[in-house]
Structure 1
Amino acid sequence: MSPRNAPRNAPRIAPAQAPYPPAVARTLDQLKTPGDQPLSLFRTLARDARLFARFTGAGLLDPGHLNLREREIVIHRTCALNRCGYEWGVHATIFADAAGLDAEQLAATAAPGIAACWGPREALLIGFCDAVHASADLDDGLWARLAEAFSEEACIELMLLAGFYRTVSLLANGLRLEMEGFAAPPPWA
């Protein structure tokens, strides 16, 4: 069967298998997750060492201008808006507890509108995600609210984070990556 005629749930490109090139192997060793192997997203990108290096070098999971909870709200909402169950489930499993996101809040990242479970700053993040998803832009009113709540550097990081996880969503959805065995199912599944 050609890739064009592959079933919707079959990966379009098979992940690379060990042994990996040395630079790829070193990076994969640093990206440990609960599964037996590195994430299939990482292993698929590892088919090309250049693309893999560019992708893994652009990550925003390090301590930055946002706290873990803020970062994860933006990642979950962005992935939910793009119906990327693969990445939503990985983050729900690996980061939600540490970020203090309970089951209601996780479900709210995928629900339309701004749920009552969010505080004002969190609701602002949800509104930010919805706006950039809808128009790849921020109106002046939203920008003013963000600038009042977050530093300029944090505002830049928010835009980078939403854009990066839109790219991750495109990769995971477009490549038809199978859910990781350890990952939580998304609320819309």
Structure 2
Amino acid sequence: MGPLPVSEWTEEDRELLRGNLPRADRYLSGEADAPPMPAILGLFARHSRVGAPWLAFSGTLLDDGALDPRDRELLILRVGHRTGCRYQWAQHVGMAQAAGLTLEQIAAVAAGCVADGADAAGTAGVWTDRDRDLLRAADQLVDNHVIDDATWARLAAHLDERQLLELTFVVGSYVCLAMVLNSVGLEPAALPDPDDAKDSRAVPDAAPIP
């Protein structure tokens, strides 16, 4: 299932998406210099009554959330890797760099599991203890749908109650989004090589949506 062409959007689609994502105006302006429409907006236009509120929710996580942006993007990249969501990975690589993750760290996100307390081969020294616990939390939520008591307790030393709650919302919502994107086969126009985690270039479609 591909994006709905803008020419087929109803007025309701336009109003719903504009109302829940203010930056949508720049894509719908009709101006000659308007940026290309992100594929995910076109996909959500196929069911704008669900897609538009989703954009509002994800926009809150991205723009008004309590988590540090670096922590948030680390979690999202881990979800993108664990769920095999190529679109999600490509969409957030540039955002992760902007939030402070290095190319080495972005590559290490896809290098393996840290749940056993050891770094994956070739990633020694890349992560802080806090980073490892964030990655563990993401892995545990993906695998078991719960963060274990030990990981939760360690995270609670660094995060307040709002941030802890938001962590579960971020991982859960991006797992849900990955299910949608993987099922419809949505991919960005320019895609980093999925077999090369170090190919973490930002892509033209990598606007913060969502």
Q: TM-score, normalised by structure 1?
A: 0.82
Pick from 151, 154, 168: which aligns with 1:159?
A: 168
Count of residue pairs brought into register by the alignment: 174
What is the match of residue 109 of structure 1? 109
**How many Å separate the matches in 2 of 1:133 and 1:176?**
20
**How many Å separate the matches in 1 of 2:37 and 2:176?**
19
Q: Which has the higher contact order (CA 8 A, sep 6+)?
A: 1
Which residue type is aligned with residue 148 of structure 2? Answer: D
Deviation at 1:98, TM superposition (A): 1.1
State, as a whole percentage, how many aligned pairs show the same letter: 30
Deviation at 1:54, TM superposition (A): 2.2
Matching of residue 133 in structure 1 with residue 142 in structure 2: yes
Determine helix, strand or coil for the equivalent of 2:188.
Answer: coil
Q: What value does the CA root-mean-square deviation take over the aligned residues?
A: 2.2
Q: Is there any run of 5+ residues in structure 2 with no aligned partner, and where?
A: 28-33, 115-122, 200-210
Deviation at 1:178, TM superposition (A): 2.3
8 A contact 2:80–2:86 mirrored in 1: yes
Deviation at 1:104, TM superposition (A): 1.2
Determine helix, strand or coil for the equivalent of 1:43.
Answer: helix
Residue by residue over 1:139-189, the C-alpha shift from the partner in whole angstroms, topping out at 9 and shown as x without a partner, is 2111111212210110000000000110111111111012332x4334369
Deviation at 1:36, TM superposition (A): 4.3
**How many Å separate the matches in 2 of 1:17 and 1:28?**
18
Determine helix, strand or coil for the equivalent of 1:78.
Answer: helix
4+ long deviations beyond 3 Å: 183-189
**How many Å separate the matches in 2 of 1:24 and 1:101?**
34
Deviates more, 1:84-93 or 1:18-27: 18-27
What is the match of residue 178 of structure 2? 169
What is the match of residue 51 of structure 1? 50
